[in-house]
Amino acid sequence: MPARYAEIARVLREGIMSATYPVGAHLPSEPELMRTFGAARGTVRQAVTLLAAEGLIGVRQGARRVVLRNERSQSFAELHSFAQWAHLHGYEIASRVHSQLRRPATEVDCRKLNLPADAQVLDVLRVRSLDGEPVLLERTVYPPFLADEIEQLPADCVSVTESLRARVGTIFAYGEHLIDAVAAGSTDARLLGVRRGSPLLRQRRTTTTPDGTPAEYSDDRYRPDSVTFSIRNSVGENPLHRLPLTPGTPR
Write down all domains in the chain, each with its CATH number in brackets. 4-70 (1.10.10.10), 73-230 (3.40.1410.10)
Mean predicted confidence (pLDDT) in 36-50: 91
Mean predicted confidence (pLDDT) in 201-214: 90
| Model confidence at 192: pLDDT above 90 | yes
| Model confidence at 99: pLDDT above 60 | yes
Mean predicted confidence (pLDDT) in 136-146: 95
Cβ-count burial of 105 within 10 angstroms (0-12 exposed, 13-18 middle, 19+ buried)? buried
Predicted local distance difference test score (pLDDT) of residue 239? 58
Mean predicted confidence (pLDDT) in 81-90: 69
